Amino acid sequence: MKYLIIGAGGTGGSIGAFMTEAGKNVTLIARGKHLEAMQKSGLKMETTLKENYTVHPIKACDMEHYHQQPDVIFQCVKGYSLEGTIPFSKRVAHKNRVVYSSTEYLRYRQ
């Protein structure tokens, strides 16, 4: 299965790092300096269980350069950025994909 995580911050980055360590086929979508840093040096994690460490290599790119069709999409962006990811999600998603939005999950928990 292919997993796509849109947003590589606290939530998306953690999910992506743990899934990558578990051997899953994961790609993180990021932008700017954060994307450049992950591509060059991996994703730095700060955890209480494993202390600080880096997951390297980790697959990361921007929305423009991602051309696969994932089976599962994790939307892990802040609420104000969610709308900007919808055209991208529609472009890469096939009809049998699963989409999980951490933003919606948090909204319903409040």
Q: Which residues of the chain have pLDDT under 50?
A: 105-110
Distant-in-sequence contacts of 23-28, Cβ < 8 A, 24+ apart: 25/1, 26/58, 26/59, 27/2, 27/3, 27/59, 27/60, 27/61, 27/66, 27/68, 27/70, 28/58, 28/59, 28/60, 28/61
Domain boundaries, the chain: 2-109
pLDDT digits (tens, 9 = 90+) for 80-91: 888 889 899 989
Report DSSP letters for 65-109, one per residue: G-----SEEEE-S-HHHHHHHHHHHHHH--TT-EEEEHHHHHHHH
Domain 2-109 has CATH 3.40.50.720: yes
Give the global pTM: 0.88
pLDDT at 102: 66
